[in-house]
Amino acid sequence: MRLPLSLRAVGALRRRLGGSVARLAPADVPAAREAVLRLQHGPLARAVMGTPPRDVAVEDARLPTAAVPGGLAVRVYRPPSTDAPAPVVVNLHGGGFVQGDLDQSEWFCAHVARQAAAVVVSVDYRLAPEHTFPVPAQDCYDAVAALVADPGAWGIDPARIAVMGDSAGGNLATVVCLMARDRRRDGRDAPAIVAQVLVYPGVEMVDVLPSERAIPVAPILSAADIRGFHALYLGGADGTHPYASPLRADLTGLPPALVQTAEHDPLRDHGDHYAAALAGAGVEVRHTCYLGAAHGYVATGGLTPRTSLQAVAEAAAFVRAHT
C-alpha cells in the first residue's frame, strides 16, 4: 500500500528540521537529544503523539536498582479495573538506544493498560552514547527483576509479567527475555516472563538486512539512521553478541511473542526474520505486518489512529491471552 500523505509530510518536516541525532558524533548527541525533547513536548508533537485515555491512572515512581543511585525512573499506568494482584507489562521505549523518554510512550502504554486490564510500567533506562551496550539492556533487566522482587509494593502478580517495546525497545524487551532464560539455565533466580510484545524491533547490529536496502529512506527512520544508532549504542563493543543482536541468539525456551512490523520501514525484515527464527526455535509467535504503515506508529496515535489503535488492540489481546 502507498505511504499515507500525512506520513510523507512528517518525513519531509523531519528532514527540514535537520534529520536524526544518529548522524552525530557521540559528544554532540546529548545537546541534540535535549533539542529533540523540547520539540517533542510542544503542542504540534503532542497532537501527533495523541491523547491517552483519561480513565487510566498515571504515576511517576522509581524502581530500586543497584546500578542507578536513587533507582530508575518509571511511569506506572493503572487501568480503571483489573485483577488484584494484577498482571504487569514492562514497557521499554524506542529511540535507537540514544533518545526517547517516558512521554514518548505514554499514549501506547495507557491504551495497552486499559485494553489489557494490566498495570503497565514504562522504564526510563539509561541511554547511549553516555551508557553504551550492555548498560541499557542491563537496566531493563534490573527493572523487571526489581518489580518481581517486591510485587506487593506495586500491586502486581509476579507470575503474570510480560515485556513490551518498540524499535530499540523491542530489542531490549527480547534481550531481557534472553537474560532471564539464561539465568534460569544457570540455576539462578530470574523473572518468569510469560509474554513478549515486540513492535518493529531491531534485532541485528552487524549485517544489513534486505529491507534496509529496499527502503533506504522512510519518514521516521532511515537505513543510515539504523547504522548510526547501532554504532552509538555499541561504542565499539561486539555487535554479534546475542544480547546486542538477538537474531543471532539461541531462541529456545523464550516466552510466546507478538512481533509487529510496518510495510514502509527499513527495520521490517528485522521483525520478519526474528519471527521466523522464533518459530524455528519452537517459540509460539504471532507476526503481523501493518500495510501502509511506517516506523513509529505506536508513537503517532494522533496522526495514524487507525493503524495505531489496531496495533494497540492486537498487543492488548495478546497480553490478555498470555497473562
Q: Which of 111, 230, 264, 295 is catalytic?
A: 295
167 has catalytic annotation = yes
Residue 11 φ/ψ region, left for φ over 0, alpha for ψ in the -120 to 50 degree band, beta for the rest: alpha
Pairing state of beta strands 86-92 and 156-166?
A: parallel
If you count DSSP H runs as helices and E runs as strands, how many of each does the chain have, helices first? 11, 8
Find, among 195, 212, 316, 219, the residue nearest to 272 by Cα.
Answer: 212
Q: HSE (CB half, 13 Å, CA atoms) of 6? A: 14
Q: Is the peptide bond before 85 cis (omega within 30 degrees of 0)?
A: yes
Residue located via cell numbers 523540547: 38
Measured between alpha carbons, how far is 148 from 192 in angstroms, rounded to an integer? 9
Given the residues 167, 222, 245, 308, select the one marked as catalytic.
Answer: 167
Of the candidates 166, 225, 265, 269, the residue annotated as catalytic is 265
Strand intervals (E) in 14-125: 57-65, 68-78, 86-92, 119-123
- Give 89's strand partners: 120, 162
265: annotated active-site residue: yes
Burial of residue 292, with CB atoms counted within 10 A of its CB: 0-12 exposed, 13-18 middle, 19 or more buried:
middle
Whether residue 110 contacts residue 58, with contact meaning beta carbons closer than 8 Å, is answered with yes
Nearest to 300 by CA among 6, 57, 59: 6
The single residue listed with the C-alpha cell 546529548 is: 30
Report, as residue numbers or ranges, the catalytic residues.
Answer: 167, 265, 295
